[in-house]
């Protein structure tokens, strides 16, 4: 099948990792309010992107050359 | 004419001689039936085919390389004997093997011992499987039920998967070499985890997974690799060498999707809920700090408002960012009005509106204090302070007081 190179967009793992970071930062609550609002919005956007990605995900099956059996 | 009668024992002795000497050592193939492992340790069974059967015994001292079951095709070697006490003949079995398995069994044990000595099975070589792999390499027959089962399972549990299939022969001539090559191909193409396997079959069908080529390919594979050969009861050399042995191909597919899509969605919801409530908590703390400046009633009202808003924040779907921003802005305005209120309550604030403060001996005059003619007081206004001598004092008309 096609050789789909991943785009420059961050991978799902990276997004989930960032989301976890944000969650921890908000939980600590020691950033200025403005900063907290900013990362809150970033986190909500990230979460939505992850959901959309997962909802639209489809199994990709790629065949490597091998025995014709 | 009457022949001379012989005793039963004499006849039996004659039969025994005929059978044990005339037939003696035998190697017989047949189907096991009525197998009984007596508490004494001896085994009694019958060997049969479509038209005949023969009783067999295998004494406790003989070793058995497998667990016999009725219906198995086996090859026994032993000696035909006559058991006079019951008038029957039977095979005294020295050894028994599954038909066609003997040689394979020996080869299996030999390779297993050799690889164990070379450290192929050592736990230190076992790699952990990735928690959330995105690329899975599968080496199996492209037409088998095993592949179908694995793809169905992966798609059901985590459809965001990229499967790289390397079709292989899984039985017959050259299958071991092909499987070994497939493992190396997948290892080279950068997958997170590899599954190598096939569906159930006879021990001959599964034999490719007992070959040295496959064992070495698995051992040298740098990607974590799962073997999934046959059914739960089938154990192959590949299973010993692989990082993880899955009982079936379906079980292997479950192992590579240990984090399911549903799990991820749920943890996303948990995370965003936690973020929202953390932020709401923080805002509430700020509001409480502000409310502490005002009297109890105001504090209570503010608290109520915060609680109402907090309930709203908690109800907010994660998609409505705008509402929470608005809520924060509202709360900020409240903070500012509280600060303004604090300002107006300052004792010197009225001076800004033209009022004056009267001080006696450097202290503001108390409500109950009365001034006498001759008292010297300070009249403090916004811009200047005057020293004043009291001429006279009369009670203020009460109607004028607020």
B161, B185, B272 member nearest A44 (Cβ): B272
Mutate to test the interface with A, among B137, B188, B271 (most CBs of A within 10 A): B271
Average pLDDT over residues B372-389: 88
**How far is the C-alpha of B214 from the C-alpha of B139, rounded, in Å?**
12
- Whether residue B164 lies within 8 A of chain A, CB to CB, comes out as yes
- Whether residue A37 lies within 8 A of chain B, CB to CB, comes out as yes
- Whether residue B57 lies within 8 A of chain A, CB to CB, comes out as no
Whether this model's ipTM surpasses 0.95 comes out as no
User: Cβ(B391)–Cβ(B402) under 8 Å?
Assistant: no
User: Cβ(B388)–Cβ(B379) under 8 Å?
Assistant: yes
Domain residue ranges of chain B, discontinuous segments joined by +: 8-99, 104-255, 261-344, 350-395
Average pLDDT over residues A61-69: 70
Judging contacts by C-beta atoms under 8 Å, the chain A residues touching residue B196 are none
Task: State pLDDT tens for residues B157-193.
Answer: 999 999 999 999 999 889 999 999 999 999 999 999 9
Q: Quick count: other Cβ atoms within 10 Å of Cβ B83?
A: 14
How many residues in total does chain B contain?
Answer: 402
Contacts of residues A3-10 at CB distance under 8 Å and 24 or more positions apart, as own/partner, are: A4/A60
Mark yes or no for CB contact A61/B163 under 8 Å: yes
- Secondary structure class of B319 (helix, strand, coil): coil
Percent of chain B with pLDDT over 90: 45
Task: State pLDDT tens for residues B279-319.
Answer: 888 888 877 777 666 556 666 776 777 777 767 666 655 54
pLDDT score at B18: 92
Mark yes or no for CB contact A13/B166 under 8 Å: no
The residue ranking higher by pLDDT, B115 or B367, is B115
- Cα-based distances in Å from B399 to B157, B252, B374, B392: 83, 93, 27, 21
Distance spanning both ends of chain A, measured CA to CA: 18
Identify the residue whose tokens are 């002795």.
B13
Mark yes or no for CB contact A27/B278 under 8 Å: yes
Q: Return the ∠ at Cα B252 (arms to B66 and B266), rounded to 5°.
A: 145
Q: Average pLDDT, whole number, for chain A?
A: 81
Assigned CATH for B8-99:
2.40.50.140
Backbone angles phi, psi at B131, to 5 degrees: -70, -40
**Which chain A residue has the Cα nearest residue B331?**
A33
Structure token digits, residue A26: 């908000």
pLDDT score at A65: 76
Select from B287, B280, B304, B313 the least CA-distant residue to A29. B280
Q: Which residues, listed in sequence order, are joined to residue B98 by a DSSP beta bridge?
A: B74
B160, B167, B283 member nearest A69 (Cβ): B167
| CA–CA min distance A9, chain B (Å) | 16
pLDDT score at A69: 40
Assigned CATH for B104-255:
3.40.50.2300
Mark yes or no for CB contact B282/A26 under 8 Å: yes
Average pLDDT over residues B203-231: 94
**How far is the C-alpha of B91 from the C-alpha of B80, rounded, in Å?**
5
| CA–CA min distance A7, chain B (Å) | 15
pLDDT score at B347: 64
pLDDT score at B286: 79
Output the pTM of the full model: 0.56
pLDDT score at B168: 96
Task: State pLDDT tens for residues B143-160.
Answer: 999 999 999 999 999 999
pLDDT score at A66: 56
Average pLDDT over residues B354-372: 82
- Cα-based distances in Å from B304 to B281, B288, B290, B300: 14, 11, 14, 6
Task: Measure CA B132 to chain center.
Answer: 10
**A5: pLDDT strictly greater than 50:** no
- Cα-based distances in Å from A10 to B124, B180, B291, B315: 34, 35, 43, 30
How does DSSP assign B231-276, residue by residue?
Answer: STT---HHHHHSSEE-SSHHHHHHHTTSS-HHHHHHHHHHHHHHHH
């Amino acid at each position: 099948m096609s050789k789909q190179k991943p785009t420059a967009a961050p991978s799902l793992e990276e997004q989930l990792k960032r989301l976890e970071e944000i969650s921890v930062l908000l939980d600590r609550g020691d950033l200025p309010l403005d900063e907290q609002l900013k990362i809150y919005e970033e986190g909500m956007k990230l979460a939505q992107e992850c959901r959309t990605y997962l909802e639209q995900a489809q199994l990709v099956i790629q065949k490597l050359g091998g025995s014709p059996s | 004419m009457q022949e001379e009668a012989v005793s039963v024992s004499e006849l039996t002795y004659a039969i025994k001689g005929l059978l044990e000497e005339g037939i003696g050592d035998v190697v017989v193939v047949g189907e096991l039936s009525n197998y009984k492992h007596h508490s004494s340790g001896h085994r009694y069974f019958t060997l049969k085919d479509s038209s005949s059967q023969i009783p067999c015994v295998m004494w406790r001292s003989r070793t058995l390389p497998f667990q016999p079951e009725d219906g198995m095709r086996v090859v026994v070697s032993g000696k035909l004997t006559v058991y006079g006490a019951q008038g029957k003949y039977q095979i005294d079995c020295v050894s028994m093997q599954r038909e066609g398995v003997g040689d394979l069994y020996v080869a299996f044990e030999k390779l297993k011992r050799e690889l164990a000595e070379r450290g192929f099975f050592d736990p230190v070589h076992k790699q952990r499987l990735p928690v959330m792999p995105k690329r899975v390499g599968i080496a199996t027959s492209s037409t088998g039920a095993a592949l179908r089962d694995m793809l169905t399972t992966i798609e059901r549990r985590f459809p965001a998967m990229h499967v790289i299939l390397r079709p292989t022969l899984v039985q017959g001539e050259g299958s071991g070499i092909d499987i070994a090559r497939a493992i190396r191909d997948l290892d080279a193409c950068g997958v997170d985890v590899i599954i190598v396997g096939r569906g159930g079959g006879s021990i001959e069908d599964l034999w490719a997974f007992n070959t040295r080529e496959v064992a070495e390919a698995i051992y040298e594979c740098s990607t974590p690799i799962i073997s999934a050969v046959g059914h739960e009861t089938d154990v192959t050399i590949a299973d010993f060498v692989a990082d993880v042995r899955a009982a079936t191909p379906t079980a292997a597919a479950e192992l590579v999707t240990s984090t399911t899509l549903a799990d991820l969605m749920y943890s996303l919801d948990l995370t965003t809920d936690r973020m929202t409530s953390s932020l709401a908590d923080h805002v509430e703390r700020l509001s409480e700090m502000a409310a502490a400046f005002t009297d109890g009633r105001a504090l209570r009202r503010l608290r109520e408002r915060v609680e109402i808003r907090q309930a709203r924040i908690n109800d907010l779907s994660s998609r409505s960012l705008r509402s929470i921003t608005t809520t924060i802005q509202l709360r900020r305005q409240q903070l500012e009005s509280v600060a303004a209120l604090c300002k107006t309550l300052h004792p010197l604030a009225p001076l800004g509106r033209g009022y004056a403060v009267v001080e006696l001996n450097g202290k503001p005059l108390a409500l109950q204090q009365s001034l006498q003619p001759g008292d010297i007081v300070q009249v403090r206004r916004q811009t200047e302070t005057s020293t004043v001598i009291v001429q006279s004092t009369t009670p203020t008309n009460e109607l004028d007081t607020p």
